[in-house]
Amino acid sequence: MSLLKINSLVSRHGLLTAVSDFTLAIEEGEKIALVGANGAGKTTLLRSLAGVHVISSGSIIFDGDDVTQMPAHQRAAAGLALVPEGRRLFSSMTVAENLLIAQSAGRKGFWNFESVVEALPQLKPKLSVPAGTLSGGQQQAVAIGRALMTNPKLLLLDEVSLGLSPLAVQLVYESLSSLFKTRTAIVLVEQDLKRAMAVADRIVCMLEGKVVAIGRAEEMSREEVLNHYFGHEKSKT
């Protein structure tokens, strides 16, 4: 049984259809890179899966349960966590407080305050510092750590390198390296195709809200992905 089944999902922003007839199954522990140009619908899809964007039609089956109508906090408690674009931290709260608040999900597992800080060592000297005063890379690490504190079965990572310096991106991916070796399933939205293809099992290309190509990462070239990315190649699923 697949960990996540997305069936004919449609999500809109008013009259604009952002995600159209999206269908995909994700297995336990699988790493998916979701790629596409700006406006392809990637962020709306992740927000829809996490329960923070109401879908128009379709269904979402997670770990055998229909979560289509389930609110976001219940999905987090079931093991589905989102690291949102823009991080969305509690800026006036300390780093430690931002991490500990995620314990309200109530899930048990490997990840706790100590293991998260060990996995994200750049946070250790900043635990008592307000999150809003951190650098972009440090804030991204807090956002990732906060999601890990919920012990997710599926982690949705939206644009983890957006707006970060090359050094900060490198540090974030070094922190993520151990996570990519675990049985946690991951959907990664990432504009850096080289990084995305290096960590993913499968590549899913989106264009204008639809899936236009799916393939094993080792079987797809960067040029092929870019062609799908900009709509220069016929759909292959």
28-42 confidence digits (pLDDT tens): 999 999 999 989 999
In a domain, 13, yes or no: no
In a domain, 236, yes or no: no
pLDDT, position 167: 83
163 pLDDT band (50/70/90 cuts)? confident
8: pLDDT strictly greater than 80: yes
Half-sphere exposure of residue 137: CA atoms within 13 angstroms, side-chain side: 16
In a domain, 23, yes or no: no
In a domain, 6, yes or no: no
Partnered with residue 60 across adjacent β-strands are 6
Show the CA angle centred on residue 222, arms to residues 221 and 224, nearest 5°. Answer: 65
In a domain, 235, yes or no: no
Q: What is the CATH number of the domain that holds 220?
A: 3.40.50.300
102 pLDDT band (50/70/90 cuts)? confident
In a domain, 14, yes or no: no
Mean pLDDT, the chain, integer: 90
137 pLDDT band (50/70/90 cuts)? confident
pLDDT, position 169: 84
Domain extent, residue 173, equals 30-51+79-229
In a domain, 71, yes or no: no
Residue 55 CA to residue 18 CA, distance in Å, equals 10
The answer to whether the beta carbons of residues 157 and 83 sit under 8 Å apart is: yes
pLDDT, position 233: 63
Residue 149 CA to residue 99 CA, distance in Å, equals 7
pTM value is 0.89
Per residue in 147-176, is it b (16+ CB within 10 Å) or e — as a string?
Answer: bbbbbbbbbbbbbbbbebeeebbebbbebb
218: pLDDT strictly greater than 70: yes
pLDDT, position 234: 54
Partnered with residue 19 across adjacent β-strands are 11
In a domain, 5, yes or no: no
pLDDT, position 20: 97
Question: How many domains are contained in the chain?
Answer: 1
Q: How many CB atoms lie within 10 A of CB 132?
A: 12
Q: β-pairing, 80-83 with 154-158? A: parallel
Residue 171 CA to residue 82 CA, distance in Å, equals 20
